[in-house]
Structure 1
């Protein structure tokens, strides 16, 4: 138990401003250990030391002085986060997880939204480099582009999120797409849906979409009693084209129960709206399972079954990996693929 004097001392530190030496004394570690923690050099610290430093930082309300640290070490303590679509809930969750790590270790996160546009990607990189960011977390379009090759030439530490880019060898953190789509497809089959339409945005050259689609096809290939096909949506807002394709699928001959498997949250939303326009009930007439757990998934009757991605954890791990890469730039590149979680609701009832 801390003495009254210790409590008073900690309170005084909160009232003024705790220093790195205050954190070191409170945690019972060296100033060097605290500096390494703040720089993301986690591998050189034991779990016990890291936890003591974390507790002291929280207890003392320690906030690193970015200006002082920058002047001393020639570092800006800035991290760039480039996302393809800031309106996508996936991007928001990634931001939340990454920001938690940056705040914890004294970095500031700068967000750039490219709107799935290659020209804006290039502008984002130019802007971030002008601020001397120390590293980048990138959720790109997923296709090779001048932007990605410029990244390689910049020698900035980079971690990709969700999507690999052909010819670009950097760290990646994302969902285990094959495992997740296999689990989703098997769930539909086990619930008695043997005629499945896989609905996705254009697949070509986007690694996460390719992996999910391949897993869907492979899972169905192992089940000759089941049937499946793929619908690629050229434009999400083309309601007439989507309604026509769904009507054709539903009118196809056969006694097998039909289901829709949506490859992303934005696709799930369009399917829910289309089913309402067509007057089709879920799951009586057609089952529905969608990638991504969205806030409204449980509110739409009878509840939408989803394959939830650990998006917050993906962002957290991406930022953690980037700080490690900044501290030790010569280490081999790695991929971290996290498992998804199947959340079963009424839309896939047997």
Structure 2
């Protein structure tokens, strides 16, 4: 049986570095107490070599302040938000903060409840991806007693820190690509247009049609919803429901723009059950570029959202705000890019002899 390894302490590091325990504590605890740079680097190198893991909760007690950061997202099962969470969590831990993860389940009231709980818990700061764009939430954010940053999406006129994505441009790129591939009858498939991100995507879709002199009609928009008990696979089931709506039409459209990859995958799988071939019979565009999108058949053409970069950057900005409440407001708009795979058919016109 393997013996339990002795836990490395700051006393062990102090002995190896030839310095006092107090000096090690100051360096690893992030103190402003002056320590010569070569000594500081020596202590950090030894700590990394021996795999020292500080007790962050003890640090919190010693400093008399919280090292917890609340992270609120609409879903922990959607791979896109999992990427955001993982990157934000890693950044928090690397800087000595403990992430406290909250799943709002796309429920506006639950989201508000999480914010109330985090404030009562007196966390150091909050990273929020909101499904709520109402005045109640905006006023609640203004009342928060700790730093807060919005990520993934923001609100019209929001003046605080935010790392958001250009949803309008992303949907424009997706629609433009379908048009350039020869498609003309293009449907926009979504859940209810009750989020700012979805509304911006719808506007981007319409603008691309207008710019290529194609008709814009509510007939080309399909949306649905699924019951809350299906939450873990909510977007996948939503895609299947949207597939059913497509099959109720007299004619299938040339192509479909969806608002996320999980919806696209659900839609494709339902169409396959109906013996519809993708992309031969209909082309499908996803949105997000989650890892599974290139593993399904056909591999999903989609719009890349830099989820990892967004999550990491949001955590960095928030921690900087915690450390220096006076720094300038940070508002960054992350840019989309097109990912070409196999779910879109390129239609070539026949050439006359």
TM-score, with normalisation over the residues of structure 2? Answer: 0.77
In structure 2, the partner of 1:69 is 59
Deviations 1:306-344 (A, max 9, x none): 212111111101101100111222333222122233221
Number of aligned residue pairs: give it.
319
Deviations 1:232-275 (A, max 9, x none): 224464789634531355616xxxx7111111123213311331
- Say whether the 8 Å CA contact 2:289–2:305 is kept in structure 1: yes
Cα separation, 2, equivalents of 1:335 and 1:74: 31
Cα separation, 2, equivalents of 1:318 and 1:187: 30
Q: 1:21 to 1:130 in 2, by over 3 A?
A: farther
RMSD value, Cα: 3.5
Cα separation, 2, equivalents of 1:314 and 1:87: 18
In structure 1, the partner of 2:68 is 78
TM-score, with normalisation over the residues of structure 1? Answer: 0.78
Cα separation, 2, equivalents of 1:220 and 1:52: 61
Match of 2:208 among 210, 219, 234: 219
In structure 2, the partner of 1:336 is 332
Deviations 1:214-243 (A, max 9, x none): 111111111015767322224464789634
1:1-350 equivalent positions in 2, closer than 5 A: 15-17=8-10, 58-59=48-49, 61-144=51-134, 146-166=136-156, 168-204=158-194, 206-225=195-214, 229-235=220-226, 237=237, 242-243=242-243, 245-247=245-247, 251=251, 258-350=254-346
Q: 1:75 to 1:186 in 2, by over 3 A?
A: same
- Say whether the 8 Å CA contact 2:88–2:314 is kept in structure 1: yes
- Say whether the 8 Å CA contact 1:20–1:34 is kept in structure 2: no
Cα separation, 2, equivalents of 1:146 and 1:225: 39
Cα separation, 1, equivalents of 2:14 and 2:59: 11
In structure 1, the gaps of 5 or more residues are 1-13, 40-50
In structure 2, the partner of 1:45 is none
- Say whether the 8 Å CA contact 2:285–2:302 is kept in structure 1: yes
Deviations 1:42-101 (A, max 9, x none): xxxxxxxxx999877644645444244323432121100111222222221111000111
Q: 1:59 to 1:250 in 2, by over 3 A?
A: farther
In structure 2, the gaps of 5 or more residues are 1-6, 33-40, 227-234, 347-353
- Say whether the 8 Å CA contact 1:79–1:108 is kept in structure 2: yes
- Say whether the 8 Å CA contact 1:78–1:110 is kept in structure 2: yes
- Say whether the 8 Å CA contact 2:74–2:129 is kept in structure 1: yes
- Say whether the 8 Å CA contact 1:196–1:227 is kept in structure 2: no
Cα separation, 2, equivalents of 1:35 and 1:234: 49
Deviations 1:188-235 (A, max 9, x none): 11211222111111223x221122111111111110157673222244
